Structure 1
Amino acid sequence: MTAIADRPVRRVVTGMSFTECPRWRPSEDDGAGRLWFADFYTQAYYSVRGDGSDLRTELEVPGQPSGLGWLPDGRMVFVSMRDAALMRREHDGSVVVHADVSDHVGGHPNDMVVDAEGRCYLGDFGFDLMGGADLARTGLLRVDPDGAVTRVAEGLWFPNGSAITPDGGTLLVDETFGNRVSAFDVAPDGALGPRRDWARFGEPPTASAVGEAIGQLAVAPDGCGLDAKGCLWVADAVGGRAVRVREGGEVVDTVSPGTGVYACTLGGADGRTLYLCCAPDFDEHARSAAREGEIRAVDVDVPHAGRP
């Protein structure tokens, strides 16, 4: 069997600015399903068939799209970063504010995961990343189906991609500047237990300047997705790769597509396609001025599990 690191990585979508938050979703008009994703600086959500055909603009978001999910009744919920809001698309296509989180975040709201009850667990930058501010820790928000906002965790280093285990009992949160993936037990009412290390790649940064802190990261966990053996595929935002990690932090597989990797998910008809959100870097000015963002894909052995 060919090692995953040696398998060909193919281009699925090209000509984007900075793709993020990929989600595989069944489709009523396409039994195989479709890959949904955000593109920051073309300001829209898109979907595409698994082979890259039939690219569609699903929703334009002038406030910059990011996290994405669906409520149990099928309504789409999504982040408008610059509005510091979680939005909702109704069944008739109208868009409304699901929750205003401007009083709860220290930087742009970003990625999230939606549980089986429709509760959204949402992270934020914690500081003005693109404006050159010093690194600062932040918290995690839970937005309930009625739009109520509760701060459910503190002291996180840029909480980013998140996943929920198949039994709904554990929330995993990538901390991009923390050298770690954190885990929280999820109570039936959505409350979180104490934070614990799920995977630790090194010590949290001691530098406050972002450039120096990046140099202290062994892995910068960004977007992620779980597989059926309990491993987590993690986009390494400073390593130009996606890594498959066991609980405890052991890296058991690596995919290096030759460019930056900022998010990933498992999808395809059998859940065994790893989709990678790729770009040369994450600099806002460079990415908004170019169309070098892509989604690439590689076949893996273990299928998708959990949420998203």
Structure 2
Amino acid sequence: MTTPRVLLDGLGIGESPRWHDGRLWFCNWGDDEVIALDPDGRAEVVFSEPEVGAHSIDWLPDGRMLIVPKNTDRGRLLRLEPDGSLVPHADLSGLPSGFNEIVVDGRGNVYVNGADFDFLPFLEKAMADGMDTPLHERPDFVPGYIALITPDGRARQVADGIAFPNGMVVSPDNRTLIIAESFAGTLTAFDIAPDGSLSNRRTWADGLGPDGISMDSEGAVWTSVGERDVARVREGGEVLERVELDRGAFACMLGGADGRTLFVVAAEWNPFDPFGGPRTGQVLAMDAPAPRAGWPGH
């Protein structure tokens, strides 16, 4: 691995990085915008609607972007049409609320996850109580879920009991979904059935601090570890590579022309005022030993 280089700084908090159409796209929390970044560091604001507050993004096979909005009064999952209009994507009335992360697999299935509780007040109370109890074992914790939206627009829940769901990846053969359970420090895997349902839940790797994740062609996953590092991890938990950062890693994404650049969105995290004070958000880039594979990122 090479030393991380700063491609862009002065951001709020970058999240949901995706390699798409030759650029790195990500949500810039705090400024309620989506930025597309060239490999040489030239940035363009491609979506900016404060009343939406783009929280997480991915793309349908036909190129339309899906947006998980921060402001759910506009809808819990939006689709950006070619004419620039935003429309609700599918009937989600039967699903729990609180969408967080999204991934679209190679068959056009959309997986979203979330948990129906207010994260920042929950964390503030846990810190005031002394953090003696693991977050996912607190009595006020609400377990998360994974939901599936198939290409025909039908939506249903396919997994529950997730210890604060975050980033997800789908393997290149569309047969395995891995999700970051951030509060448990675990990457959890499921088998994907032909109809998109999930089964055979199992621990893929633990002892981590996972948030947004990315898979490479050797089946390893890049994820955050601890408070500041990122690591390339093999199934079972073996750490193959580890990179120290000077601030917290919120998500990883493999991309670049050959898929061998690891992009990391990182920032200092202040749970009491996440978007106040100094703007510490950065996009970092470094060479990776194996190219990206699976989804997101195709």
TM-score normalized with structure 2 length: 0.87
**Aligned partners of 2:278 and 2:153: how far apart in 1?**
36
Residues 36 and 71 (structure 1), Cα distance of their counterparts in 2 relative to 1, 3 Å cut: same
Unaligned runs of 5+ in 1: 27-32, 202-218
Q: Which residues in structure 2 correspond to 1:83-102 (within 5 Å)? A: 83=72, 85-99=76-90, 101=92
Instruction: Indicate the residue corresponding to 2:248 in structure 1.
Output: 260
Equivalence for 1:17: 12
- The sequence identity of aligned pairs, in percent, is 38
The residue aligned with 2:135 is: none
The answer for the alignment partner of 1:230 in structure 2 is 219
Q: How does 1:270-281 map to 2 (within 5 A)?
A: 270-281=258-269
CA distance in 2, matches of 1:280, 1:250: 27
**Pair 1:123-2:113 in alignment:** yes
The aligned amino acid for 1:303 is P
Tell me how far 1:73 sits from its aligned partner.
0.9
The one-letter amino acid paired with 1:88 is R
Q: Is residue 172 of structure 2 the alignment partner of residue 183 of structure 1?
A: no
Structure 1, residues 2-35: CA drift from partner, whole Å, max 9, x if none? xx2xx22111111110000101112xxxxxx111
Q: 1:259 to 1:177 in 2, by over 3 A?
A: same
Whole-Å separation in 2 of the counterparts to 1:171 and 1:239: 25
* Number of residue pairs aligned between Structure 1 and Structure 2: 277
Matching of residues 150-229 of structure 1 within 5 Å: 150-201=156-207, 219-229=208-218
- Residue 37 (structure 1) shift: 0.3
CA contact (8 A) 1:61 1:80 kept: no
Q: Compute the displacement of 1:122 (Å).
A: 0.9
Q: State the AA in 2 paired with 1:73.
A: D
CA deviations over 1:82-108 (Å, ceiling 9, x no partner) = 3061110111111111146576335x3
Query: What SS does the aligned partner of 2:250 have?
Result: strand
Find out whether 1:114 has 2:104 as its counterpart. yes
SS at match of 1:177: helix
Question: What residue is the counterpart of 1:214 in the other structure?
Answer: none
Q: Is the 8 A contact 1:162 1:174 kept in 2?
A: yes
**SS of match in other structure, 2:189:** strand
1:243-254 mapped onto 2 (5 Å cutoff): 243-254=231-242
Aligned: 1:36 with 2:30 = no
Query: C-alpha distance in 1, partners of 2:230/2:14?
Result: 15
Is 1:77 matched up with 2:69?
no
1:238-290 CA-partner distances (Å, limit 9, x unpaired) = 42011111001111111112111010010111111110110011526232454
Q: State the Cα distance separating 1:135 from its structure 2 match.
A: 2.7
Q: Which amino acid aligns with 1:278?
A: A
RMSD over aligned Cα, in angstroms? 1.8
Cα distance per residue 1:169-218 (max 9 Å; x no partner): 101111101121111111111111131111122xxxxxxxxxxxxxxxxx
The corresponding residue for 1:57 is 45
Question: Is the Cα contact below 8 Å between 2:115 and 2:145 reproduced in 1?
Answer: no
Letter in 2 for 1:37: F
What stretches of structure 2 of length at least 5 have no aligned partner? 126-139
The answer to whether the 8 Å contact 1:141/1:152 transfers is yes
Does the Cα contact within 8 Å between 1:123 and 1:158 map onto a contact in 2? no
1:235 to partner: Cα distance: 2.1
Distance in structure 2 (CA, Å) of the matches to 1:179 and 1:128: 20
Separation in 1, partners of 2:46, 2:67? 12
For 1:10 and 1:105, how far apart are their aligned partners in 2? 40
SS at match of 1:118: coil
CA contact (8 A) 2:94 2:155 kept: no
2:164/2:181 contact within 8 Å kept: yes
- 1:283 equivalenced with 2:274 (yes/no): no
Tell me, in whole angstroms, the C-alpha distance in 2 between the residues paired with 1:192 and 1:45. 30
